[in-house]
Amino acid sequence: MPMPPSLRELQRAFGAALVEGDGDALAPWIAARGIDPAARLRIYRHANLAIHVEALATSFPATVRLLGEDCFDGLATRHAAWIGSASGNLQAYGADLPGFLVAQPELTAHAWVAEVARLEWLRQEVALAASGDVADPFALVLALAAATNAAVRLQPHLRLCSSAVPVLGLWRYAMDLAPAVAPNGAGEHVLLWRAGDGVAMRAVDSALASFVRALLAGERLAAAWANASGTAPQELLAPLLEHGLIAAVVNASEETSA
């Protein structure tokens, strides 16, 4: 009789059986107790897949509605079976779903669905991100006037989604918040941030999107303004100040001392 595997080997074999469906190496070491070992492993595998499919459905409700429950369930099951989760935290599961949807042949003519999924994952990131201190807006205005080439620290929950399709309109339609939108309509830039217990979204023009993108990349104010096609600084800063999305303004001397 072969030597029994170690606990570590059993755990690895069990994980492989859940993810890959191959339980041959593990089956001899599973007590039947009225259920065939292979059948017992299938029960665990199906339950594991169902948990992951449900997690995706929770994070991508608009995508579910756009595809239909049956179609989404099939694609989500395929994702869970082929790729699975690299983390034990199901809240982190789904970051790669938009890219996965792009690669599915049955969605070739519906690439906009993946764009909505990308927006939904950014909503998930916003909901889970930390919050920075909300600086006094008057103090920020004074600091910005005194140091036009300062570094601006944005709230860590702020995100930007730039899409070639009307992604916010499609999301709103899917969630029964707006009339139908043509998927081949004009693209949109969308700011996302946490507002209270929810996630706020706002479509913005390309100048503000370029400005925010530059700040998120660590550019200083002067460089960020240069990306904004000549739009007045106050027009770019106003919506960020209005929603408390600027955490701090740091001039060069403060950065050096820090």
**In sequence order, which residues have a C-beta less than 8 Å from that of residue 1 and are 6 or more positions away?**
none
Count other Cβ atoms within 10 Å, centred on residue 155. Answer: 21
pLDDT 10s digit of each residue in the chain, 258 long?
466 656 565 556 555 655 555 556 666 656 566 666 666 666 666 677 788 899 999 999 999 999 999 999 999 988 988 777 766 678 889 999 999 999 999 999 999 999 999 999 999 999 999 887 777 777 777 777 666 677 888 999 999 999 999 999 999 999 999 999 999 999 999 999 999 889 999 999 999 999 999 999 998 888 888 877 778 878 888 899 899 999 888 875 555 444
Nearest to 125 by CA among 101, 98, 163: 98
pLDDT at 223: 85
Judged by DSSP in three states, 73 sits in helix
- Report how far residue 258's alpha carbon sits from residue 11's, in angstroms, rounded to the nearest whole number: 47
**In sequence order, which residues have a C-beta less than 8 Å from that of residue 133 and are 6 or more positions away?**
247, 248
Dump pLDDT digits (tens) for 85-107: 766 678 889 999 999 999 999 99
pLDDT at 98: 97
**By the 8 A CB rule, do 244 and 152 touch?**
no
> Which H or E run contains 39?
helix 37-59
Instruction: From residue 182, give the alpha-carbon distance in Å to each of 173, 186, 235.
Output: 10, 9, 30
Nearest to 159 by CA among 114, 204, 197, 196: 204
